[in-house]
């Protein structure tokens, strides 16, 4: 028997059985249960679709964080490959210190000739992908700093892997 509820007489102390939706005469309850199940399944599908489209993040042993904003579909580069990228670099306060747009378009360089954050992070991308690399100072320019980048500064780069040149 189901939960107890007040009788129709209004006496709240007089127990009255509630219909059990599992009994064969509970057809209206089955319709409600079926509608609820359909709604729940629809929500689950929408949720999994949203999660698939959401950025994925991985933290590398060096502390570099790679947040995949758009998954690429092409090949992944190795450390010895020459890559073509669009990028934008910012300081912790959001100030842009460099970008490929400032230099007229995508930049091309060997992955093993850049800061460790780039070497490690770009290898986790596929051609066509976009990612945000969060670089601890030790994987960026460390205690030496460069140009507008002070020593011991964490950096953030938004990178689009356009192509693997060789």
* Residues 41-76 pLDDT 10s: 666 655 555 445 567 999 999 999 999 999 999 999
Q: How far is CA 96 from CA 64, 101, 136, 155, in A?
A: 19, 12, 17, 10
- pTM reported for the whole predicted model: 0.68
- Count of beta carbons in the 10 Å neighbourhood of residue 124: 17
Per-residue pLDDT tens over the stretch 138-156: 999 999 989 999 999 999 9
d(CA 24, CA 47) in angstroms, rounded, equals: 34
């Amino acid at each position: 028997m189901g939960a107890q509820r007040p009788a129709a007489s209004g006496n709240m102390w007089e127990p009255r059985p509630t219909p059990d939706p599992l009994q064969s005469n509970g057809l209206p309850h089955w319709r409600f249960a079926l509608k609820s199940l359909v709604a729940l399944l629809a929500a689950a599908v929408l949720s999994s679709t949203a999660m698939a489209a959401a950025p994925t993040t991985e933290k590398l042993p060096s502390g570099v964080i790679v947040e995949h904003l758009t998954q690429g579909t092409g090949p992944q580069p190795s450390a010895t490959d020459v890559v073509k990228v669009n990028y934008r670099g910012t300081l912790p306060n959001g100030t842009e210190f460099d970008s490929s747009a400032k230099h007229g378009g995508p930049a091309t360089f060997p992955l093993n000739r850049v800061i460790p954050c780039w070497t490690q992070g770009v290898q986790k991308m596929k051609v066509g992908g976009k990612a945000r690399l969060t670089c601890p100072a030790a994987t960026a320019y460390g205690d030496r700093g460069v140009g507008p980048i002070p020593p011991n500064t964490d950096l953030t780069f938004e990178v689009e892997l356009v192509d693997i040149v060789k």
